[in-house]
């Protein structure tokens, strides 16, 4: 804020108020004071229905080469009809690459509720940013549960602003903008993580401050870490994922 104030003061010195009768040339010159010459933002191609040209594609429907089991070894989930699906009991999977600040696009689908589950047992999965901070995946279509545990929540920390859920068996999307936490050299937290989430194009988290690593029991806290993989949860439900890409920022 102080820096902004001093920049504003410098601009005021450099740009004294013009007389009413300033010439067009003088006004043109004055307008340049607040222009920023560059660097010119680099070009990104955004073809309809495809990831942006600078995205890292994590799953295009064909294979799980970008993923591994959190227990080591290959990811134990199945790939079918352009989607990957949780194999119950095979465990969470994570990207082989690590990430810090990202824009992340994920599409997911809850299974039909043939087994009569409700609450947290219906279509539970999750997207763990940096393997720690969970954006909840749940079938929250006509399925009440605690508010900070439904789809679009930052699990046990922030309830979603609205419930934008579609019915089970329909594809849904998350677009996530994640600002990783920053730690000092001695491991203390200098800046907490923040996250913005769009669920099916609707804002459900608006720059929410993450309070620490996701906990089921107890309160979250931070422990210093580096960039880390994106992790998907096996929570004993047949949740599917497709079209996953990330843009490190």
Nearest residue to Mg ion, by Cβ distance, number only: 126
Residue 153 CB, nearest approach to Mg ion (Å) = 9
If 0-12 CB within 10 Å is exposed, 13-18 middle and 19+ buried, where does residue 8 land?
Answer: exposed
Task: Kindly state the smallest distance separating residue 149's Cβ from Mg ion, in Å.
Answer: 8
Kindly identify the residues of this chain, within the stretch 116-145, that bind Mg ion according to CB under 5 A: 124, 126
- Give 55 or 158: the residue with its C-beta nearer to Mg ion: 158
149 forms part of the interface with Mg ion (CB under 5 A): no
In angstroms, the CA 249 to CA 243 distance is 19
**Which CB, 154 or 198, lies closer to Mg ion?**
154
CB closer to Mg ion out of 205 and 233? 233
CB of 48 to Mg ion, least distance (A): 32
6: enclosing H helix or E strand: helix 2-14
Which residue lies nearer to Mg ion by CB, 110 or 243? 110
Residues near Mg ion (CB under 5 A), total: 4
Name the minimum Å distance from CB 64 to Mg ion. 20
Residues in the chain: 249
Q: In whole angstroms, what is the distance from residue 249 CA to residue 220 CA?
A: 26
Closer CB to Mg ion, residue 136 or residue 179?
136
CA 92 to each of CA 95, 225, 230, 232: distance values in angstroms, whole numbers, following the listed order? 11, 20, 10, 6
Which residue is it, tokens 């720059």? 207
Question: Cβ of residue 226: shortest distance to Mg ion, in angstroms?
Answer: 24
Residues 73-112 that bind Mg ion (CB under 5 A): none
Three-state helix/strand/coil letters over 68-131: EECCCCECCCEEECCEEECCCCCCCEEECCCECCEEEEEEEECCCCCCCCCHHHCCCEEEEECC
d(CA 40, CA 38): 5
Binding characters for Mg ion, 197-236, by CB under 5 A (x = yes): ------------------------------------x-x-
Instruction: Give the binding site for Mg ion (CB under 5 A).
Output: 124, 126, 233, 235
């Amino acid at each position: 804020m102080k820096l902004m104030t001093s920049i504003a003061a410098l601009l005021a010195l450099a740009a004294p108020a013009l007389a009413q009768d300033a010439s067009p040339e003088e006004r043109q010159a004055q307008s340049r004071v607040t222009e920023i010459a560059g660097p010119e933002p680099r070009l990104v191609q955004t073809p309809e229905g495809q990831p942006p040209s600078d995205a890292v594609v994590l799953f295009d429907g064909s294979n799980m080469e970008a993923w591994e089991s959190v227990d080591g070894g290959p990811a134990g989930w199945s790939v079918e009809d352009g989607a990957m699906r949780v194999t119950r009991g095979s465990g969470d999977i994570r990207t082989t690459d690590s990430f810090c600040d990202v824009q992340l696009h994920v599409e997911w689908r809850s299974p039909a509720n043939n087994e009569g589950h409700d609450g947290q047992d219906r279509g539970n999965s999750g997207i763990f940013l940096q393997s720690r901070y969970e954006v909840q995946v749940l079938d929250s279509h006509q399925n009440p549960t605690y508010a900070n545990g439904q789809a679009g929540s930052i699990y046990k920390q922030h309830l979603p602003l609205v419930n934008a859920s579609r019915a089970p068996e329909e594809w849904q999307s998350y677009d996530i903008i994640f600002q990783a936490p920053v730690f000092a050299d001695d491991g203390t937290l200098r800046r907490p993580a923040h996250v913005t989430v769009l669920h099916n194009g609707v804002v459900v988290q608006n720059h929410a401050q993450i309070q620490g690593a996701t906990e089921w029991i107890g309160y979250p806290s931070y422990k210093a870490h580096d960039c880390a993989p994106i992790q998907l949860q096996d929570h004993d439900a047949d949740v599917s994922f497709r079209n996953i890409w990330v843009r490190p920022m």
